Amino acid sequence: MKFKITLKDPDGVYDSIEDAVEGSLFNLELDENEKAAVKDTRLENINDIVSQWIEYREYLTVEIDTEARTCVVVPVKE
């Protein structure tokens, strides 16, 4: 049997991406203005990438196949 589950968590997606980007800036030798610019650029790039799976920055749909025992992320329809 196959079925889909849609999960909604606007804060979780936003917070996780922001935490990952901030962690990537930790060891960079940049002043605060430079770090802010890099952070903004990275946030935009990552949000563009994840938008193929996460709709409106909060919805993620997975499809579970109980026979194959798999779970895959369903791409966002364009």
- Tally of structural domains, the chain: 1
Domain hosting residue 53, numbered range:
2-73
> What is the distance between the terminal CA atoms of the chain, rounded to a whole angstrom?
26
Series of mean pLDDT values for 10-residue runs along the chain (78 residues): 95 94 90 94 96 94 98 91
pLDDT of amino acid 23? 93
Position 78 scores a pLDDT of 60
3-state secondary structure 10-39: HHHHHHHHHHHHHHHHCCCCCCHHHHHHHH
Indicate the residue type of 51: S
Element (H, E) at 64: strand 59-65
pTM (2 d.p.)? 0.79
How far apart CA 3 and CA 24 sit, in angstroms, is 36
**So what's the pLDDT on residue 44?**
96
Instruction: Examine residue 78 and state whether it is found in any structural domain, yes or no.
Output: no
- 34 in any annotated domain: yes
The pLDDT of residue 28 is 86
On whether residue 55 sits in a domain, the answer given is yes
